[in-house]
Amino acid sequence: MWRHKCSLAIGILLVLFIMMTVSVTRIPQGITISESIKRPASIFKQTDVGPGTTITRPGQVLIPELIADEAALNVTGHMSPRLENATFFSLVRNSELDQMLSSIREVQDRFNIRFGYDWVFANDKPFTEEFMTTVRSYFTSGTPQFVTIPREYWSYPDWVDKDRAAESRRDAENQRVMYGGSESYRHMCRFNSGFFFYLLSSYRYYWRVEPGIKFSCDIIDDPFRLMREGSKKYVSAMIMPEGENAVKGLWTVVRQHFPADFFTSQVDHNNLASFITDDGGLTYNLCHFWSNFEIADLDLFRGEQYQEYFNALDATGNFFYERWGDAPVHSIYVALVLQPSEIMFLDTVGYYHKPNHACPRDETARKVNRCLCDPNEDWNWHTWNSCGKNYFKMQGHQLPPGIVW
C-alpha cells in the first residue's frame, strides 16, 4: 500500500516536471507572433537561418526586416522574406574563382543567408564548367546566373583608333597611371560605365560585388528595401579622391555636356554638385563614390539622360585614349542629376576592397553589427581624404563620433 502511494507521488511529480519543462520550450499560449515582432532587433539572437526557417520560440530568429513586417510571416509561422526586385552582380574572370568564392561567402554570411537574393555573374569570356559548378555549390540561398557579355559591350567602337589607343596606354604606363598600360582595364571601365545594366534588365536594383572583397559587419537591414521605401537611387560605402592623371580630360566633356547652371545653381537643380566641384564647376575636385561597392536603382542608368551622358563621353574615345574609371563617371552623374536625398551613404557595412577599409566609427554600431574591423584603419575618414567630410558637409549630415570638421 505504502509502496503504491509512493509510486503515485513520484508519478505525479514526474508529470508536473515534464509539464513545466515543455511550457518553457514552446511558444506559450497567448503569445502571438506580433508580440515577438515588437522586440528590438538587438535582443534577437542571430542564427544562420534562411527562407523557410520555422520559428519555434519567440526571439529565436533574428530577421529584423522580416520580423518588423508581420505580413512576412505566413500562417504556419514560416519565414517568407519579402525580397525586392534586386540582384547581386559581379563582373569576374574565370581565373578569379577563389576570390569570387570568398566574396560569395562574405555576402552570404553577413547578409544573404537571411534573404536569398539572386546573383548575376558576367564575363567577357564564357564561364568554364568548373567556375559555374563550384559557384553553384557555394549557394545556399538565392540563384546564381552566368552571362557571357555580348561583344558590342566589350570591344572597340569603330570611331576609336586602336593604334592611338595603344600609344596612349604606353604613355599612361610611363606616367605611372594606375592600370595605365592595361587594355582589358579600359574595356572593363567602359562596360561598367555604359553597358552592365543591359544584362540586368529584369531587375530594378543591383548590388555590385567584386572578387576578394570583405564585409566585416553584419548587414542587418536590407539596403534594397531601404532604397525602395526611402526613394533612394544610389548607395555608397566608400568615398575618396580619384588619381588626377587618370581623368584629365573628363571634366571638359562633362562641362560641355551639362548646362552651366547644373554646376552652380543647386537651388534649381537640387543636386550635390558641390560634392564634386569646389569652385562652381571650374574644376573637378576628384571626389567620387568608390564604385566597386555600389548599390543602385538601375533605372538611373537605363534612363535617356544617362544614355546621352555616356554617349557624349564615349564619343570622345577617351575610355581608350585616357583611363577614365567608371567610379568618377557614375559619381559625377549622380552628383549632378540626383537630388541629395536620393543618395545614401552606408557607414555600417564594414567594407574592404584592397587596399582600403571602411569600418564604422560608432562603437555601438560595431557591436550591434558584430564588426571585425579596426576603426583606425577606416579610409573614409583618413586625414588626407577630404571627400568623406565634403560629402557629409554637402548633405548636412552629422560627422561620426571622433571626426571633426
Ligand X SMILES: Nc1nc2c(ncn2[C@@H]2O[C@H](COP(=O)(O)OP(=O)(O)OP(=O)(O)O)[C@@H](O)[C@H]2O)c(=O)[nH]1
Question: Rounded distance, CA 249 to CA 183, Å?
Answer: 19
User: Is the Cβ–Cβ distance between 239 and 276 less than 8 Å?
Assistant: no
Distance between terminal CA atoms of the chain? 87
Instruction: Based on the shown chain and the rule CB under 6 A, indicate whether residue 126 belongs to the binding site for ligand X.
Output: no
CA angle 122, 124, 126 (to 5 degrees): 80
Amino acid symbol at 254: V
Residues 90-119 that bind ligand X (CB under 6 A): 90-93, 96
- Site map 201..220 versus ligand X, x via CB under 6 A: ---------xx---------
- Looking at the Cβ atoms of 36 and 236, the one nearer to Mg ion is 236
Instruction: Based on the shown chain and the rule CB under 6 A, indicate whether residue 236 belongs to the binding site for ligand X.
Output: no
- Closest by CA position to 359, among listed 376, 339, 341, 343: 376
- Looking at the Cβ atoms of 90 and 380, the one nearer to ligand X is 90
- Looking at the Cβ atoms of 92 and 177, the one nearer to ligand X is 92
Q: Which residue number places its CB atom closest to ligand X?
A: 184
Amino acid symbol at 354: K
- Which one from 84, 106, 210, 294 is the annotated catalytic residue? 294
Asked if 294 is an active-site residue, the reply is yes
- Site map 207..246 versus Mg ion, x via CB under 5 A: ---x------------------------------------
Q: Grid coordinates representing 346?
A: 552606408
Q: Grid coordinates representing 185?
A: 582595364
With CB under 6 A as the contact rule, the residue among 36, 193, 271, 292 that binds ligand X is: 292
Instruction: Based on the shown chain and the rule CB under 6 A, indicate whether residue 228 belongs to the binding site for ligand X.
Output: no
User: Is the Cβ–Cβ distance between 197 and 301 less than 8 Å?
Assistant: yes
User: Is the Cβ–Cβ distance between 381 and 400 less than 8 Å?
Assistant: yes
**Residue 184 site contact among ligand X, Mg ion, none (CB < 5 to 8 Å, cut-off depends on kind):** ligand X
User: Is the Cβ–Cβ distance between 291 and 326 less than 8 Å?
Assistant: yes
**Residue 326 site contact among Mg ion, ligand X, none (CB < 5 to 8 Å, cut-off depends on kind):** none
- Site map 320..359 versus ligand X, x via CB under 6 A: ----------------------------------x-----
Question: Rounded distance, CA 52 to CA 35, Å?
Answer: 20
Q: Name the minimum Å distance from CB 340 to ligand X.
A: 27
Question: Rounded distance, CA 237 to CA 350, Å?
Answer: 8
Residues 354-373 that bind ligand X (CB under 6 A): 354
Which range of residues in 62-70, 87-95, 236-244, 306-314 is near ligand X by CB under 6 A? 87-95
Q: Name the minimum Å distance from CB 216 to Mg ion.
A: 17
Q: Name the minimum Å distance from CB 243 to ligand X.
A: 11
Q: Give me the DSSP letters along 334-392.
A: HHHHS-GGGEEE--SS-EEETTEE---S-HHHHHHTT--S-GGGBSTT-TT--HHHHHH
Binding site for Mg ion (CB under 5 A): 210, 292
Binding site for ligand X (CB under 6 A): 90-93, 96, 123-124, 184, 188, 210-211, 292, 354
Active site residues: 294
